[in-house]
Structure 1
Amino acid sequence: MKISRQLLLFMIIIVMGGCGNVITEDQLIGGTWLVTNGYEDGEIGGDPMCPPFNEGLEFIDEENVYVIAEKEEFVYSLRESDEGMKIEFYNPNGEMDFFKITLENENGFGLNGSGMIKTRNCYFEREE
């Protein structure tokens, strides 16, 4: 009986630890997200570099985000990967941007480019 309780406790700890890094659409929806800094290696600071998102974002729902600089909606999706959470933006003209997304707190997240856009990075803060 003791072993099954210990096993159950261990399983709960593993599951809770794995859930801490998951970002949901609900956490992003609401308010305008403005770029305030760069974001590299998990550190906030430096010059932001993430066109076309430099003027900010407004997450409308679980699929659509308004890109202020472009004055139009993009489709986005969140997914888990071995490297952490990823966000993908799909521009209406067919272009795609892929970023690692890190939620620092309920009102701040960082983006780091991946693939061909690794140099792109920025930190967003929610303006409510």
Structure 2
Amino acid sequence: MRTIGSLSGGERQRVQLARALAQQPAILFLDEPTNHLDPKARSALLSVVAGLGVTTIAVLHDLPLVAPFATHVAVMHAGKVVATGLPEQTLTPRIVSQVFDLDVLRLRHPHQDRELMVFDAPGPSPSDHTRRIL
């Protein structure tokens, strides 16, 4: 048996979710539940939460995770709600650009009958010769 302090960040996230679910909540509040998870684990965790049948309010800053799992979205900027509604109504190019300074592209998935939302941040201009390490 391991202590919670010996777990990885992702394992701790899962333990916290399990603790919350053990209470059999009517409403589940999640603050960045996918933090410290790899991309596959993020999707798996949100799929599990979506299948619980429990009303869930989640704070997500990873925008590509919002549309596939949310039924209703509230976009906030500077502590104020600027848009609410369905993901396709709230994650529009205008709102995403205004709030996050990102471009959003809506594309058809090449192998499935669904839409993909791609969020694109402007990169450095070609004249910017500053070395960046990411």
TM-score under structure 1 normalisation?
A: 0.26
Higher helix share: 2
Q: Report the TM-score, using the length of structure 2 for normalisation.
A: 0.25
Q: If each structure's strand is expressed as a fraction of its own residues, which one has the higher value?
A: 1
